[in-house]
Every structure is written in structure tokens, then in C-alpha cells.
Amino acid sequence: MFLISSLLMVFLITTLMFLRPSLFAQNYAYIGLVTSCLSIFLITLYCKVKLSRAALRYLLIFILFWCSLLISTLFNQGGLLVFLSSVVTNLIPIVCFLLWFSTNNRKIDILLVLSKVVAFLGVSSLITFIIYSVMGAGGLLLYKFEIFEYPNAGLLYLPFSIASGEFNTNGLTLLRFSSFMREPGIMQALATFCYSYTSIFYSRKKWILTGCFIAMFLTFSIPGYTVFLISIFFIHLVRSNNKVGSILYGFIVFMISIAVFLFAPYIGYYAKKTSHTSSISGRTDALLNGFQNFINTPFGIGYLKDDSSVLGNINLIASLGYIGFHNFLLVIILYVFPLFIVGKNGSYKYLAITLPFFITMLFFQPLFDTPFFWCISLFWICLERDVNDSKGRSELNV
């Protein structure tokens, strides 16, 4: 059984490493599909799966979302082949992790393993950053991965750090680390996810917390810093019984978050508005274009519809004009669904851990149709099982 458990751990971590929006999924998404299929085979053969009604309902909503996108694609002449590829690369991994989190295997916490990987890469990035700050990038670059649609990504530096190139702002040059995500703006969400998960369930593992914080910080993503502070507030809610104190704490954290987002030197909103005007205006134009498309066509102009004028799918809100309000609503339902299942304390845990990805998806990155976040967020099934065990509720045995 030890061999099977070890194989499952390797297959599941490999699956995550090759799921969009990971760096390597741009070229090798099929590897993630193969390992997820192998994982499904081993789980169904060797593990005892207890699939709850809530998990089944969640899967049905997920399938409904993709069926709705299919209708949108067909009616609006979108890219059908690309769409079918997206369906396969989303649905199979979701089934895989839904089955995994529905097992009673407590020996392997795949999210703890993921957090260790992120922490290790964070420490490696810090070593690289220190050497880079003193000596420059010369001699540090080991290899350049050729990544589809991301020509500047995939720079492997000593000792084992992946960056997306240098970032120049107001006379300061920074090396931004993305680890195995395709962009630093996505890596910050994963690092905060892992930090929050470890802080709530394994608070004594300080090296993991430190490594994840470093990984988040070295993305030099101002949304990442803001989201991290918000997650800290929800971690506080999990541990606190003082409602008045929590509200005051939350207000202070919120004000600090706004101040950091707007006024942080070099990478804050106002600093980037001067040094990276096109980046700020591009996102603003995408949001306005998305709302305009929504007003003109409430059901969307079509998922994957080519619109060369603006990057319309740059985030979920901007995608509203493409996927339509009904699909936008289904995405929101998929995210909030666990809040009605896992109880009050479980809801705080779920929000503390998943908000980094949700806020990033909502405002900053095109993540709603990428499977990585949806797969790792399925840990709520474990929270539901804890609630059911405490109340003596029955489950469906599969």
C-alpha cells in the first residue's frame, strides 16, 4: 500500500504541475491528462471513496457550466476544437481530485506536499535574488524553457529558480519569480493559497510558511501583497472568538491593503500608472470593453470569440461580455457553493485559503477556465466530511 500511496502522490503532484495555468501546461498539458487518468485508475482500484451528495452536485454544476459554454461557442462560431480541448483538460482533472479528496486517505495531504514544493521554490528564489542583486544575472541562467505564447517566461536560474525576466520600474530593475506558474501574477495567488493552508492546518511548520511567504513576496505583484493581507484577516477569523475585535482587525487590514495597492513604491498602482501606462490602460480598456459587450449582448458574444481590439478575457469581469452573465453567474456559484456546505468555521477556512485565487481570477488574471484552481479548491470536501462526521450525517458510498 505504501507503493500505491507514493505513486498517487507523484501522479497527483505531476498532474498539478502540468495543469493550466502552470508554465509547463502551455506545451505539455497532455502529461497532466495522462497522470490524472492514472490517478483515477489507482484511486478507484485501491482507495475507499465516499462521494458525498454535495460533491456530486458540485460536479454537476461544473459540467453544466461547460455545457453552457459549448452552446455559447456553437451559436457564436467560436473555436470549437480549442473549446473541446479545454473541456477535456478541465473535466478529467476535476474528476480525479474530486475522487481523491473523497477518499479517507489521511496519510497523504497533497496540498501540504504542494505547499512544500512552493516553499522550496521560494527559498531557491531568495538565494537567486540575493546573488542577482549583488552580481547581476550573468552566469546564473541555467536554461531557457521555450513556452508557447510566453516568450519571456521559463528562465531557469541557479540553484533552481524560475523567473519571467526583469521588471523595470522608475529606475529600479527587479527579477520577478513565477516558479512553475506561467506568470508572477498567478504565482502570488498560489503562494498565498499554500501559506494560508499551512497556517490553518499545519501552523507549526514554520519553514513552509516562510518559504511560501518568500515565494509570494518575490513575485513583486502588488495585487498579491493586497490579497495576502486579506487572507491574513480570514486566518485571524478562523482563530478568533472575539467578533468586535475581528471587525476592527478586518477594517485595519482593509485600509492597509488599499494603501499598499495604491501607494506601494515602484510597484503600486500610482507608481505603475507612471512607469507602465500601457499595462494599466490595457486592463481598464478590457474591463470597459467587457461591460460594453455585455450591455450589447447579455448572453455574450461567444467564449473564445476572437476580438483583436482588446484582450477581453484578461480577467473574469472582463470576460463577462464574452461568456455572458449566465456563465459568469455559474462561475460565482461554483466558488460560493462550498460556503453553504462546510459550516461557519469551515467557511472562514475556505475563504482564507481560496480568496487569493478568486480575487486574482475576478480582477487580474484569466483563470476561470483553467483547472488548477478548481482542483486544489476541492479540499472543501474534507471540510464537509469533518462537519458530517461531527453531526453523524450519512454519505453515499461508491
For 234-288, write each residue's pLDDT tens digit.
888 888 777 677 778 777 877 887 887 777 766 666 666 665 555 666 677 777 7
* Helix, strand counts (H, E) of the chain: 15, 6
Pairing outcome for strands 155-157 and 141-144: antiparallel
pLDDT tens sequence across 312-328: 578 898 888 888 899 99
Q: Is 170 strand, coil or helix?
A: coil
Task: State the Cα torsion 30-67-330-86 to the nearest 10°.
Answer: 20
Residue 393 has a pLDDT of: 45
Instruction: Give the per-residue pLDDT at 9.
Output: 93
CB 184, CB 190: distance < 8 Å:
no
Are residues 224 and 185 in contact, defined by beta-carbon separation less than 8 angstroms?
Answer: yes
Tens digit of each residue's pLDDT (9 = 90 or more) over 343-357: 888 999 999 999 999
User: How confident is the prediction for the chain on average, in pLDDT?
Assistant: 86
Q: Check residue 84 and give its pLDDT.
A: 87
| Each residue's pLDDT tens digit, 288-316 | 777 777 788 788 777 766 554 445 578 89
Find how far residue 45's CA is from the centre of its chain: 29
Which string of DSSP letters, residue by residue, matches 318-372? TTHHHHHHHHHHHHHHHHHGGGGTSHHHHHHHHHHHHHHHHHHHHHT---TT-HH
Whole-structure pTM value: 0.91
Lowest mean pLDDT across 41-55, 64-78, 128-142, 381-395: 381-395
> Could you tell me which residues come within 8 angstroms of residue 236 by beta carbon, excluding any fewer than 6 positions away?
246, 249, 250
